[in-house]
Amino acid sequence: MGIMNIINLLGGLGLFLYGMNMMGDGLEKAAGDRMSRIIEALTGNLFKGVLAGTLVTGLIQSSSATTVMVIGFVNAGIMRLSQAVGVIMGANIGTTVTAQLISLSGIDATAWYLAILKPSSFAPLLIAVGAFFILFVKSKKLINIGTIIAGFGILFVGMNTMESSVSVLRDLPEFQQLFQSLSNPILGVLVGTAVTAIIQSSSASIGILQAAASTGVVPCSAAIPIILGQNIGTCVTALLSSIGANKNAKRAAVIHLCFNIIGTVVFLVFIYGIQYTIGFTFWNDPITMHGIANFHLFFNVVNTIILLPFTKQLVKLGNFIIPDHHAAVDATTNLLDDRFLSTPPLAVTQAVRETINMAHVAEESLAICQNAIVNRDTSQHGKIEDNEEAIDLYESNITQYLIRITDESLGAYDNKLASSLYHVLIDLERVGDHCNNIFKLNTTAVKENLRFSDAAQHELQVILDATREVLHTAIEAYATESLELAHRLIAYENVVDSMRQTIRIRHIERLSKQKCSIDSAIVYLDMVENIERITDHCANIAAAVEQLLTEKPDFDLHKDPKAFRYENPAEYQQIFDEFAAKYQLA
């Protein structure tokens, strides 16, 4: 084998890996957060989990990426360990799609209609079409499609280059002896594991084996243990990803490894048991590219069928290998997991989830404020401060995470969603500030024994009740991306604004009639002002929801949040009247 053959082999391998990576990136970006939605929708039971893992891995062409995603879900507390097992099993099945596609290179193109199916026939055309989309089309969606197409073509060009490079090895005795020695099952498994662990892709290592098989000197006896080892080697990516994660995430990675090791042992015992007793007629025959792809598929499907009923035992095995050293349960989660950054649309979805968690903390603070005012209670001062610190920490962490996400390429919708989050975070942080102000004002009233009249106290409770509903509706509108709720919020906010004006007028009248003191009036009106300001920020969130659902590509910072009032006066007035009737000050 000459130096040029070695250079061509390395170049072909480089093209193959680059094409696979390029195709996977394009598929991930085109799929967006649909991958996470598929996983979440189909993990209700074990069988659906297997289906979810198969679909997502078939979609993004990487079992490692799916498994890393699952580990992130487990680490974030979104998915239970028992649910993760099914998805991991499905991921092993889904990854076999790549080998089946690569095996098209082995088609016997004696007929013209079969020649069309050979990658060497269509790969250059795919690269040309994909390059056109990438270079000359502005639509990110079409660019992603072009990336997929070009990656697919480059993958096969690399495969053809590798096949041509190793074809000269066909007649070398050393090359034939190499694969004869790999017929040793232990050595074959170790080589398959090592190669896959190094390049961290079972699909790529299978492709390399298929290229070698194209020479016709790779016997089935060598290919089978190598393929089994390749399934073990692909677990390395997940194991590395679990470093620094919580114990359940580590267990998910360990279960992935155990699943493949157990399956490999079972297959080795079964296959070699038959070979040494009855014997396979094809054992020493050269394996084809189709044969490699089919055995890869057969192993993963059968392994899943065998081990699926033993899911609980696999979970127990994971718990045994990664035990709990403390009795206390760690209830903390980490939605902003770095593992999701490799799939930016999914990372944006996680940032939204964490923002909703932040919103619920602000909602809790408002409830604490109302309870404090009703009962003239100051005992929750520490809780309010904790919530305020938590909200500030949420804002800081999510903002930093968003900065890291936007360094990546995002689709139009995900880019707009990420932009909206920056503004929603600011509004929620302001809500937390207003809650803190309200609680401090109540503490002042209690300590200085400032009393409000019964009428004033009633009005305060009514505007608080209305504001709590406004905040809850804003959170729900953003979480569900509901345009109807967003429009309702515009009317709701105006009702509360009208309440504030009425309360100010009434309280000034009470002050003039000396029904309350000047000191209590100042505290009271400050409370009402802070309460009303919370609904202003809720209206901003409503505007963010409305912009997300429009066709405009960018997030407009100067969008009027009250435009709905003027564009749909009849509908607005109906919502306004209903909310005003529900929260009457009289």
Instruction: Answer whether 405's CB lies under 8 Å from 347's CB.
Output: yes
- Within a domain: 137: no
pLDDT of residue 54: 85
- Within a domain: 524: yes
Quote the tokens at residue 63.
């079992």
The helix/strand/coil state of 200 is coil
Of 325, 344, 363, give the one whose Cα is nearest residue 418: 344
The helix/strand/coil state of 256 is helix
pLDDT of residue 437: 93
* DSSP per-residue codes, 18-47: HHHHHHHHHHHHHHTTHHHHHHHHT-SSHH
Question: In sequence order, which residues have a C-beta less than 8 Å from that of residue 109 and are 6 or more positions away?
Answer: 115, 117, 118, 121
- Within a domain: 281: no
| Structural domains counted in the chain | 1
Of 110, 202, 99, give the one whose Cα is nearest residue 159: 99
pLDDT of residue 538: 93
- Within a domain: 514: yes
Q: What's the alpha-carbon Rg for the chain, to the nearest Å?
A: 31
Backbone dihedral angles phi then psi of residue 286, each to the nearest 5 degrees = -65, 140
Question: In sequence order, which residues have a C-beta less than 8 Å from that of residue 413 and are 6 or more positions away?
Answer: 32, 548
- Within a domain: 1: no
Question: In sequence order, which residues have a C-beta less than 8 Å from that of residue 264 and are 6 or more positions away?
Answer: 189, 228, 229, 231, 232
Residue numbers of the domain that contains 383? 339-582
Distance CA 114, CA 120 (A): 12
* DSSP per-residue codes, 131-159: HHHHHH---HHHHHHHHHHHHHHHHHHHH
pLDDT of residue 407: 57
* DSSP per-residue codes, 182-207: TTSHHHHHHHHHHHHHHHT-HHHHHH
Continuous segment of H or E residues that includes residue 559: none
The residue type of 479 is: A
pLDDT of residue 232: 92
- Within a domain: 502: yes
Paired strand residues for 30 = none
Backbone dihedral angles phi then psi of residue 439, each to the nearest 5 degrees = -65, -40
Distance CA 344, CA 350 (A): 10
Q: Mean pLDDT per segment of 10 residues, for the chain of length 586 residues?
A: 73 79 72 61 72 79 75 73 85 84 63 55 82 84 84 80 70 66 86 85 81 84 91 85 76 91 94 90 88 92 92 90 57 64 80 91 94 89 89 89 74 81 92 94 91 88 94 93 90 92 89 82 91 93 85 57 74 91 87
Instruction: Answer whether 150's CB lies under 8 Å from 22's CB.
Output: yes
Q: How many other CB atoms sit within 10 Å of the CB of residue 31? A: 20
CA distance readout (Å), 482 to 359, 457, 475, 493: 16, 34, 10, 17
- Within a domain: 445: yes
Of 44, 50, 67, give the one whose Cα is nearest residue 254: 67
Q: 0.85 cut: is pTM over it?
A: no
Quote the tokens at residue 69.
């995603």
Instruction: Answer whether 418's CB lies under 8 Å from 340's CB.
Output: no
* CATH (domain of 557): 1.20.58.220
- Within a domain: 327: no
